[in-house]
Amino acid sequence: MSTSPNRPPFDSNRAWSDAVAMVSANREVLAALAGVFLVVPAFAIATLLPPPEPQDGATMEAMFATMGEYYRSNILVLVGMALLHMIGGLAMLALFTDDRRPTVGEAIRQGFQRTPTVIAAQLILGAGIGAMVLLPVTLGGAAQSPGFSLLALLAAAGLGIWAWTRLSLISPAVMVERLGNPIAAMKRSWSLTEGNALRLLAFYVLVGIAFGVVVVLAEGATRLVVTLLAGDRPGDIVGLLASSLMQAAMTVYFVAISAAAHRQLAGPSTQSVVDKFE
C-alpha cells in the first residue's frame, strides 16, 4: 500500500483520538447544533413523512416505483432537511478547525456561506458516480447480458466508492482553506488522500459498522422497553427518537473524523497559514 512520498501514512488511531478530543472539547455547543440541525429534522421526517415499507410479495420494480413516488412527492422537504444537515455539519467543522474559536452564530454563518461550494462539489461527485453506475447498466441492457451488467455494475460501484473516498475531505478543505471553487476543493481532497485511500476507506467502514451496530441496538432496546411499558405507538416514537439521537451522534463523530483526517494529512499549520493572508 503506497503513500505519497511527501506525506506520511494516514494514522487511523491518531485520527480517532483527535476526533474524540474535538467532540469532548465542544460537547455542549455540539449538542445544541446537533439538536437543531440533525435530530429535530430527522425525527420530524421519521414521524411525519416516513418512507413506505415494502409490501409482501412486491416485485423489485414495484418497490422502486413506490420509493420514486415517495421522493417525488416530498422532494422539497427532503432537500430542506439535507440543507440543514449540511449547514450544521459545516458549522461543526468551523468549531473543530477554526483556531479563532468562533461563536455558535459565527460557526453557523461560516457553514451557511460555504454551503454553495460544498453543494456544487457534491453534485459534481454525484453526477460522476451516477454516470459510472448508469453506463454499465446501459451497456448490459444493449448487450442483453445480465452477467455482464452485474460485473460492470460491481466494477462501477467499486470505482464510485474509491472516488468518494478520494474526495471525502472536500468539506474540511473548503472550511479550513477557504476554498470557494468546488473544483479546487475536489482537487485539494484528491491531493490530500493520495496514497491513503485504502487506509481512509477501511477506517470509514470500521467506524460506520461500529456506529451502525450501536444505532440498531439502541433503537431496538429502547423501542422494546417502552413498548412493554407503554404500548406500540409510544415505543415506535421513542425508538425513532433514540435512532435520530444516535444517528446525530454518528454524524458529529464523522465530521470530527474528517476534520482530524484533514489536519493530519494537510498539516496543523494550514489554518494559521490561511489566516496570515486574510
Instruction: Give me the pLDDT at residue 102, please.
Output: 86
Q: Is 6 within the bounds of a domain? A: no
Between the two ends of the chain, the Cα-to-Cα distance in Å is 38
Q: Is 1 within the bounds of a domain? A: no
Average pLDDT for 207-236: 89
Q: Is 254 within the bounds of a domain? A: yes
132-161 pLDDT per residue, tens = 767 766 666 665 666 666 777 777 788 888
Grid cell, residue 11, equals 494514522
Among 176, 208, 245, smallest CA distance to 12 is for 208
Range of the domain at 19: 12-51+58-276
Write the CB contacts of 151 (distance below 8 Å, at least 6 apart in sequence). none
Number of domains in the chain: 1
Percent of the chain with pLDDT strictly greater than 70: 86
Quick check: 269 pLDDT over 70? Answer: no
Q: Is 104 within the bounds of a domain? A: yes
Average pLDDT for 258-264: 95
Q: Is 4 within the bounds of a domain? A: no
Distance CA 23, CA 85 (A): 17
Give the residue, 65 or 23, on which the prediction is more confident: 23
DSSP state of 7: S
Q: Is 2 within the bounds of a domain? A: no
Distance CA 199, CA 8 (A): 12
Look-up of cell digits 477506517: 203
Distance CA 268, CA 260 (A): 10
Instruction: Give me the pLDDT at residue 62, please.
Output: 75
Q: HSE-up of 213 (CA within 13 Å, CB side)?
A: 5
Instruction: Give me the pLDDT at residue 261, please.
Output: 95
Model pTM?
0.84
Decide: residue 39, CB within 10 A, 0-12 exposed, 13-18 middle, 19+ buried.
Answer: buried
**Residue 9 main-chain phi, psi, to 5 deg:** -60, 145
Q: Is 215 within the bounds of a domain? A: yes
Q: Is 5 within the bounds of a domain? A: no
